[in-house]
Structure 1
Amino acid sequence: MAAPNLFANPIATDAPPANIGRKQDHPAPRLGITGTAPFETNKFYANFFLGTQTAPTYLHPYSVAWSGGKGVSASWGMSVSHVEMRQRVYGQITPETGAVKYFINPVGIQSVVISAKELGSTTTLTSDLLTDFSVRVCLGPSPQAQAAIQFHMVQGSAFVSALFTGATPLIQTGVFYKTVTRSTKEVKPGVTKYKLHLEDGATWLLYAYHTKGDALDLQVVNNGLAQSKKPFYGVIQVAKDPGNGEAVYDKACGAYATGVKLTGSVNGNKGTYTFLFQKAGMLTTILAMFALPHHQSSFDTDTRGKMTAVNLQTTTKGIATAVVADAWTMIESALPTEMGFVPWLPKVGSVNTISATVRNFIHNIALQELSQNMLQQTDQDSMYFSGKALAKFAQILIAVNDMLGDKALALQSLKQLKVAFARFAENMQQYPLVYESGWGGVVSSATYVTGNSGADFGNTYYNDHHFHYGYFIYCAAVIGYLEPTWIASNKAYVNTLVRDIANPSAQDKYFPVWRCFDWFHGHSWAHGLFETLDGKDQESSSEDTMHTYALKMWGTVSGDQNLAARGNLMLSIQARSMQAYYLYNKNNTVQPPNFIGNKVAGILFENKLDHTTYFGGNIEYIQGIHMLPLLPHTPLVRTGDFVAEEWETYFGNGRADKVVGGWKGILFANYAMIDPRGAYTFFSQPRFDPSWLDGGASLTWYMCYSAALGGL
């Protein structure tokens, strides 16, 4: 496989199929957004246009928030903070593991606030230039007035940078100044530097690059306010000095990132992707940007050579390191290009051989499961649960066709699966999809009908779209694999779902670019159009990777080589990021030592980790939501060492046997990765209870999977 430019071409540019209805409005207002849709809905900066517009935005390592006249500073400017590990608040210790249940970083700290004398109670916050990596946020004295300050927000920025065009700067703090000192000479021509020593012991550096008029001349009014004597034209930047950052900041000041151009390529099983940072200010100055741990471990040699010794703690992603470069290149050298629909293992490849005796036994199970009513099971009032049911039957057909060798039975049952899928392709489900042009995307009509923003897990509000649509895309890939002629008449519908969650190109004017997957973080965010103090979050790492696997396989069967290549690259990136941030073996050095004993994140927020779920605190829920569904890509992400540690911690010594309901089957399917014969024994027992199967799982698939891995 060779894909020289993964992001050059859109999947499609035409309108969604005509049988998907249209809405011109959306229940979530677009507060302060200027420009035309499509708009990003699941990105780090969404709090700027949701709710009160004052909840924090997490840039990693800094956090920013519009003060809105509140807090200690009572400012109307943009507050900037950075939290050290010692400031975190930890939950209770779980006796079984010795790990804390959660940790959270404090919010509302106003270390440095960049404001202007012109701002006050009539201040308006607007945002524009919304991209998958960046946004511009403007603060104006009133709704009709020109912006007093503009902020380009890009994740990883070494500085928080504010553009002034004649407003009078106020530099405020809610932590209080010990001293404010001005350097005796310019750091660079036109750049004035101040050191802000705060009462909490932190030192912040402020750089002011004036593009016309006078240099910034601050007068300390009191221990919470330093005020410019004159209007200012240029850029004011602030950065926290960890103790060794001043020389790096001195060289990098004057320039700031405004966005990122993403490029990438795949050649064989090697993939590379590059962040080319767009910048403004002093264009000859090389940028300083902070890299997360998974970036650092995948940098190419050139980028690695530009790393510095300047480190800052992030909220939930370990230690970030400053890199002085205008571009980063990351390499993934073991893409799962050969992975298909059957069980697969790293360094082994596809594993689908099963003995005749075992095949015959499982075949009887498959006959029973395929006699179930597909139409009834998939006819639900939820895209999520309907998608899981469709995927369940798709898994059975793969097992029957490719592992049990009964192609006739597979093709016979495929007819039923196509009819079940057609209900959704024809948009005849209980809550049909609509394309709404307010934000730009395909959503469930459930909220429009019921008024409940949480209907179908918030699908109408763009919550969990990659989970929901990923199951449909996987099912479509299976149908297309078994009957290639089906693809042509269903491609527009399936690609509409793909475009909603994973559109790679701004040429597609109907959907935002990369709604769900965050190329900076290396995983997706599930949280849609809901304001939240702790930023975006995601609960199920495994359903995130499921959607990527589905993209890969749909690209493969539909002939979209770039889509398949992107899926392979994303899977490799996710394996790296999940093992750093979500799934913890005993050697994890990214997350706090007192948290990794939980083995999984639970819910990963931008500002906290909480070892729980949104639907309950049972340990099988918390661990199991990171296991389902079991698919060929699962061992790529959930390594054998990790699975063994997790099993020993929570489920060994008969503890899994005491679990009830569908979670029991999920646990033992996961167990197949370390003891496939033991898992097969569980699933093949004479008294197997069907209630041990989740609604998205089949006994046929679980038995075929464990039998193949176990050499049975």
Structure 2
Amino acid sequence: MRPPTTPIRRATLMLTAAATALGGVALLPGSASAAEIPVGSGSYSDTRPAGTVGPLDNQGQPVTPQVTDAMAGVPVPTNDWWSSLVFKRYADNPYSQPMYGHPLSYRAVAAGLEVGYPSEAVVNGSSFEYPHRADLVLGVAGLNSPDAKADGWSDWTVSPYWEDAGHTFRATIGHGSPYVYAEATGGAAQITTSAAPEVFADEGSTLGISVGGHDYALFAPTGSDWQVAGSTLTADIGGDGYYSVAVLPDRAALATYEQYAYSFVTGSTVDWNYEQANGAVSATYTLETEAREGTETGTLQALYPHQWSYAADPLTDWEYTSSRGIMRVREGASFTTRQDASGVLPGLPASDGPDRATLAAFVDEVAATANVGVGDTYWSGKAFGRLAQVVPIADQIGDTAARDQILDAIKARLEEWFTAGGETGFVYDSEWQTLTGYPASYGSDQELNDHHFHYSYYVLAAAIVAQYDPAWAAESAWGGMVEELIADAANPARDDDRYPFLRGFDVYAGHSWASGHQGFVAGNNQESSSESTNLSAGLIMWGSATGDTELRDLGIYLLATESEAIRQYWFDGDEENFPPDYQHNTVGMVWSNGGAHATWWTGNPEEIHGINVLPVTGGSLHLARDQDAIDRNLQELVEENGGPPVEWKEILWEFQALSDPAAARASYDGDGGGSYTPEAGESWAHVYHWIYTLDAIGPPDTLITADSPTAAAFSDGGTVTYAAHNYTDAPQNVTFEDGTVLAVPPHSSASSTG
């Protein structure tokens, strides 16, 4: 279903802010006196702390969203595939960086829109890319615009806009679209080619050309005629003011592409639906169209592998090459995917694997040092995550004193973050419609990077608190601030005037993007896909704990979708999407135009492999969907490393335990598990419990789904263990796909071997 456009809590918070403004307090970042905007028991500020900054260009100057007057005040979806159009990272470039819609790539320039079809991979050691090379520049004769701005956007399309003294030009482009839809005034349609084109079809208003080894079709209004003069192509579009261009998968497709050439895409929408009884989630991707001539309102769209693998809709035989693998073409304005929902748990089930005395000692050690110091948003988040993972373990072994001590530490520090005016806190920027935590980190303030990474830890930790203290999580208490962070990073409402729809998550690409400005030749990027799914898991648990099925179902959709994107594009699970001559079977970073076996900070293989695993939580179980990919991943790591890992090894043992827990336990036992300081987001209580539990019950069996999003099955090859958590006030019977029914008491976890 389409999520409601104005959730009650969002409206409540807007009324709170409006009442504050009516009381005489300005709500503008940078105002002379800071205002604290109350949200339940907490608050955020409208003014950055002294000495801090917001979004800047590369010269250190403040930047504002570059949108047309028609879009002024509309929340800007930063962290998207096209964000360089609105966030001008480079002071000397008022247009854009290359933007990769797939199959086409684009770049805004003074004369209009560069268009290319990146169909050839360039492999350079640890990285591969399909670079943007302009075959065409689309515009209007005489256009020389001083800049380009965004004049509209939807879930995966955007409309760049150019204007000078005598011309306007507007293009609509999108993920999966083989077309560019152009609107122009002030002159003839003009297309400049990178070299003199080969004309293979000339039918008046339709022209087929080949440039740079790629076939394109040009469509002017009926009655117009394309004129070719060297590398300049023009058509008189008169009062119609429109034309379209398509990249063809084959010259034989020209007639079909002409059929849809005048059905202009005007918007795009994804609707998701959690099929709880079936343990599945479906999503329908729909393009809105308008017939510029004739009556045809259908269209063509190219699906990524993570989409066509799960779509029952018929596809054509036409294909495109992309940096994500083969894209397959569908006739029609919509298609639907359907996947198993990935179960999450607040913690692994009780078993006879861990030694209770050893585990209790590890838990007490965490409780004795439970502390989240004054740090930045990311490292404070890591500390929250470390503590939160131990709470269910302490509860499981009956150590309620340690459990409550850790919970109190989490709550105390979250409350400090959720209260304006202290050493830490959150600030709302009304120009960029974003909530930034200070102290900021890794460009979360200057570049609007990584909000979904950082806030994932807060949301998941708050969900653990909500499991034991529902009153704390009430919207009127501290839950309101948790939902402010959620709204900033993953707002499900499209018409909210305070935050954009799903800031970080690209619904068509199937995963999130980390860079707020997308200011790279390679497009946008995401490194730690696992910290992105950490937010999705947090949404599932927070929504379940608070009874917010909208946020729960959003998390289910995001997790299922990104899980498959990770399997396909980070781990190349089907071994079909990376270029054939690329020598790695996993990448640390996905870029719009390719991937890199690298991280931002190191070339150490252990961290390249580990960055898409941490944090390991009950939301990591989805990784076990492809155990062969885990095995290949870790085998490559050992080969690169010249032996077993020595850094982040506990993270990698936990990863291995999702496929081969016996081997993970052997590594733990033989390599001093518990004898050194683990990675900052981990504790020995959690590592030991994770490895020894999975060694006892087996890795997750993701083929056995359930009618609860907080349930999972595990199999050791002979015995299946069923586990679930019930967040509600009533007893719950969880039914698994194989017919097993697990009775779960209220506010409890339960497990059984069926």
Give secondary structure in 2 for the equivalent of 1:119.
coil
Q: Which amino acid aligns with 2:633?
A: E
What is residue 318 of structure 1 aligned with on the other side?
Answer: 325
Q: Structure 1 residue 637: deviation in Å? A: 2.5
Give secondary structure in 1 for the equivalent of 2:268.
strand
- CA distance, structure 2, for counterparts of residue 627 and residue 36 of structure 1: 38
What is residue 152 of structure 1 aligned with on the other side?
Answer: 172
Q: Which amino acid aligns with 2:685?
A: T
Contact 2:444 2:451 in 1 (8 A): no
Q: Structure 1 residue 445: deviation in Å? A: 4.2
Q: 1:217 to 1:166 in 2, by over 3 A?
A: farther
Give secondary structure in 2 for the equivalent of 1:249.
helix
Q: 1:708 to 1:201 in 2, by over 3 A?
A: closer
Q: Which amino acid aligns with 1:505?
A: A
- CA distance, structure 2, for counterparts of residue 420 and residue 681 of structure 1: 37
What is residue 206 of structure 2 aligned with on the other side?
Answer: 193
Give secondary structure in 2 for the equivalent of 1:66.
strand
Match status 1:360 vs 2:357:
yes
Contact 1:552 1:564 in 2 (8 A): yes
Moved more, 260-269 or 496-505: 260-269
Contact 2:81 2:101 in 1 (8 A): yes
Match status 1:494 vs 2:507:
no
2:284 paired residue among 274, 279, 284 = 274
**Superposition pairs of residues 563-642 of structure 1, within 5 angstroms:** 563-585=551-573, 587-595=574-582, 597-638=583-624, 639-642=626-629
- CA distance, structure 1, for counterparts of residue 118 and residue 409 of structure 2: 55
Q: 1:457 to 1:679 in 2, by over 3 A?
A: farther
What is residue 45 of structure 2 aligned with on the other side?
Answer: 21
Q: 1:460 to 1:549 in 2, by over 3 A?
A: farther
What is residue 529 of structure 1 aligned with on the other side?
Answer: 517
Q: Structure 1 residue 61: deviation in Å? A: 0.4
**Superposition pairs of residues 147-546 of structure 1, within 5 angstroms:** 148-165=168-185, 167-179=187-199, 181-183=201-203, 192-198=205-211, 200-209=212-221, 215-221=223-229, 223-228=230-235, 231=238, 233-243=240-250, 244-268=252-276, 269-282=279-292, 284-300=296-312, 303=313, 305=314, 307-314=315-322, 316-332=323-339, 334-337=340-343, 339-343=344-348, 351-354=349-352, 358-376=355-373, 379-380=374-375, 382-402=376-396, 404-427=397-420, 430-446=423-439, 455-488=441-474, 489-546=477-534
Contact 2:418 2:426 in 1 (8 A): no
Match status 1:83 vs 2:118:
yes
- The one-character-per-residue Cα deviations of 1:76-108 (angstroms, maximum 9, x if unpaired) are 1212110222xx32113xxxxxxxx1112233x
Normalised by the size of structure 1, how large is the TM-score? 0.85
Q: Structure 1 residue 417: deviation in Å? A: 2.2
- The one-character-per-residue Cα deviations of 1:270-292 (angstroms, maximum 9, x if unpaired) are 22111221112345331111111
Q: Structure 1 residue 688: deviation in Å? A: 4.3
Q: 1:129 to 1:279 in 2, by over 3 A?
A: same
Give secondary structure in 2 for the equivalent of 1:458.
coil
Contact 2:81 2:518 in 1 (8 A): no
Gaps of 5+ in 2: 18-36, 49-53, 56-61, 698-754
- CA distance, structure 2, for counterparts of residue 201 and residue 476 of structure 1: 54
Contact 1:217 1:228 in 2 (8 A): yes
- CA distance, structure 2, for counterparts of residue 429 and residue 696 of structure 1: 24
Q: 1:250 to 1:220 in 2, by over 3 A?
A: closer
- The one-character-per-residue Cα deviations of 1:41-83 (angstroms, maximum 9, x if unpaired) are 1112212222312321111100111233xxxxxxx12121102
- The one-character-per-residue Cα deviations of 1:393-430 (angstroms, maximum 9, x if unpaired) are 1111121113x232343123322221122221224664
Give secondary structure in 1 for the equivalent of 2:515.
coil
Give secondary structure in 1 for the equivalent of 2:355.
helix
- CA distance, structure 1, for counterparts of residue 696 and residue 407 of structure 2: 28
Gaps of 5+ in 1: 69-75, 93-100, 185-191, 344-350, 448-454
**Superposition pairs of residues 104-119 of structure 1, within 5 angstroms:** 104-107=129-132, 109-119=133-143
What is residue 48 of structure 1 aligned with on the other side?
Answer: 85
Q: 1:45 to 1:534 in 2, by over 3 A?
A: same
The count of residues paired between Structure 1 and Structure 2 equals: 644
- CA distance, structure 2, for counterparts of residue 171 and residue 270 of structure 1: 46
Contact 1:169 1:232 in 2 (8 A): no
What is residue 347 of structure 1 aligned with on the other side?
Answer: none
Normalised by the size of structure 2, how large is the TM-score? 0.81
Give secondary structure in 2 for the equivalent of 1:330.
strand
Moved more, 130-139 or 600-609: 130-139
- CA distance, structure 1, for counterparts of residue 83 and residue 641 of structure 2: 45
- CA distance, structure 1, for counterparts of residue 497 and residue 595 of structure 2: 36
Contact 2:605 2:640 in 1 (8 A): no
Q: Which amino acid aligns with 1:696?
A: G
- CA distance, structure 2, for counterparts of residue 431 and residue 263 of structure 1: 37
Q: 1:568 to 1:530 in 2, by over 3 A?
A: closer
Q: 1:530 to 1:254 in 2, by over 3 A?
A: closer
Q: 1:137 to 1:687 in 2, by over 3 A?
A: closer
- CA distance, structure 1, for counterparts of residue 520 and residue 228 of structure 2: 35
- The one-character-per-residue Cα deviations of 1:294-337 (angstroms, maximum 9, x if unpaired) are 1101113xx2x2x11121112x21111221111111112x2135
Contact 1:67 1:79 in 2 (8 A): yes
Give secondary structure in 2 for the equivalent of 1:514.
coil
Contact 2:143 2:164 in 1 (8 A): yes
- CA distance, structure 1, for counterparts of residue 641 and residue 283 of structure 2: 45
Q: Which amino acid aligns with 1:354?
A: D
Match status 1:126 vs 2:149:
yes
What is residue 72 of structure 1 aligned with on the other side?
Answer: none
Contact 1:154 1:258 in 2 (8 A): no
- CA distance, structure 2, for counterparts of residue 331 and residue 621 of structure 1: 33
Contact 2:221 2:237 in 1 (8 A): no
Contact 1:503 1:511 in 2 (8 A): yes
Contact 1:110 1:175 in 2 (8 A): no
Q: Which amino acid aligns with 1:630?
A: V
- CA distance, structure 1, for counterparts of residue 674 and residue 275 of structure 2: 47
Match status 1:135 vs 2:141:
no
Contact 1:113 1:173 in 2 (8 A): yes
Match status 1:102 vs 2:127:
yes
Q: Structure 1 residue 375: deviation in Å? A: 3.8
Give secondary structure in 1 for the equivalent of 2:267.
strand
- CA distance, structure 1, for counterparts of residue 640 and residue 170 of structure 2: 59
Q: Which amino acid aligns with 1:78?
A: L
Give secondary structure in 2 for the equivalent of 1:594.
coil
- CA distance, structure 2, for counterparts of residue 266 and residue 9 of structure 1: 20
What is residue 740 of structure 2 aligned with on the other side?
Answer: none
Q: 1:658 to 1:124 in 2, by over 3 A?
A: closer
Q: Structure 1 residue 128: deviation in Å? A: 2.1
Higher relative contact order (CA 8 A, sep 6+): 1
Q: 1:361 to 1:322 in 2, by over 3 A?
A: same
Q: 1:253 to 1:680 in 2, by over 3 A?
A: same
Give secondary structure in 2 for the equivalent of 1:135.
strand
Q: Structure 1 residue 358: deviation in Å? A: 0.6
